[in-house]
Amino acid sequence: MHPWDEPTAPMERVHIDFAGTFMNMYFLVLVDAYSRWPEIHIVKNMTAETTINVLRKIFACFGLPYVLVSDNAQTFTCYEFKKFMQENGIIQKFSAPYHPATNGLAERYVQTFKQALRALKGNDKEKELSKFLLHYRKTPHATTGVSPAYLMFNRELRTRLDLLAKPRNTLEDKSDFHPKRKFQVGERVECRDYIHGEKWEFGKIIKCLGKLHYLVNMDDGLEWRRHVNQIRGIGNDTPMVSSRRDQCSEPWEPYLFMHQDQINKDPIDNHKNQIDTDLPEDNSSTPVEVRDPEFLSCTPSIDPILRRSKRNVKPHERLNL
């Protein structure tokens, strides 16, 4: 194998090659020489345009490499690909003709990838490829002694095997932050209302969702999730009131406060009694028109305005034949 200088950081030198046609597909393989991190992408062809589009996605995640090593395939030696390398400040190096050992790192990964993909079962090749890459990137490499993920990101990737280990309390908040305002469960508060006409509605704290968030049971029965900046204390002596938007309109208010014995009476008798109470006490001979109270509540109090045209109308001029 060609004695390359040992890289000291990720993405100093990368090796690139194609695997295909394999299983009626083309695969673009790129390997980082420092961490042995592999990038394998399914492509529709091996043209320079397709290769550049894939490299743009890879470089967007890991940054631009200093050196890119490839064989002498037409894809890597064409003017379009060389221009892309020059514009991004990447030094391009080629292996000797008929000497694949110069680009042995990529060649070896191509063989490893093909063997693994043949052993995998399933018709969804993209899914199987993703599984292979996840396990390969987490497994310690024979050359480096650590996983490619650890050398690339300085941490291990989390997989299903980690579910078998004792979980760590990674969500524990160790900060010394303490909010200036704090509410207790059961405390009466008013919350900011962003939907209805009223800006504030009354409720009670039922749960603390964190240092800054609370779950409030409103007086109308709804539960709101609010930030501490959207809550104000009102004191526990504040009475519980129903929401204004749940109250009925004026024509129905007298019926809401009827006594129970009046409700149990015959509705026809109630209607007659109500008409009798509405009659005037003066027993004059002037006839009095009695209307249904419901009809009166629906009658508009303002007479409609008649709109008349103010246009000057000229008489028709007829022809006297």
Q: What is the 3-state secondary structure (H, E, C) of the chain?
A: CCCCCCCCCCCCEEEEEEEEEECCEEEEEEEECCCCCEEEEEECCCCHHHHHHHHHHHHHHHCCCCEEEECCCHHHHCHHHHHHHHHCCCEEEECCCCCHHHHHHHHHHHHHHHHHHHHCCCCCHHHHHHHHHHHHHHCCCCCCCCCHHHHHHCCCCCCHHHHCCCCCCCCCCCCCCCCCCCCCCCCEEEEECCCCCCCEEEEEEEEECCCCEEEEEECCCCEEEEEHHHEEECCCCCCCCCCHHHCCCHHHHHHHCCCHHHHHCCHHHHHHHHHHHHCCCCCCCCCCCCCCHHHHHHCCCCCCCCCCCCCCCCCCCCCCC
Q: Are strands 91-94 and 67-70 parallel, antiparallel or unpaired?
A: parallel
Q: What local confidence, expressed as pLDDT, does residue 198 receive? A: 77
> Exposed/middle/buried for 104, CB within 10 Å: 0-12, 13-18, 19+?
middle
Which residue, among 138, 162, 124, 165, has the nearest Cα to 35 in the 3D structure? 138
Residues 6+ away with beta carbon under 8 Å from 98? none
What residue spans in the chain does CATH classification 3.30.420.10 cover? 13-163
Q: What local confidence, expressed as pLDDT, does residue 81 receive? A: 96
Calpha distance 65→89 (Å, rounded): 9
> 213 with 225: CB under 8 angstroms?
yes
Q: What local confidence, expressed as pLDDT, does residue 12 receive? A: 95
Report yes or no on whether pTM surpasses 0.75. no
Q: What local confidence, expressed as pLDDT, does residue 254 receive? A: 39
Which residue, among 183, 203, 179, 181, has the nearest Cα to 192 in the 3D structure? 203
Third-level CATH fold of 179-275: SH3 type barrels. (2.30.30)
Q: Which CATH number fits the domain 13-163, given the four candidates 3.30.420.10, 3.40.50.10490, 3.40.50.720, 4.10.140.10? A: 3.30.420.10
Angle at 246 between CA 245 and CA 251, to 5 degrees: 95
Q: What local confidence, expressed as pLDDT, does residue 288 receive? A: 45
Q: What is the mean pLDDT of each run of 10 residues along the chain (321 residues)?
A: 77 89 86 92 93 96 94 92 96 77 68 74 79 91 91 92 73 62 90 86 92 91 91 83 50 42 49 49 48 47 65 75 60
The number of C-alpha atoms within 13 Å of 129 and in the hemisphere containing its C-beta is 18
Q: What local confidence, expressed as pLDDT, does residue 255 receive? A: 38
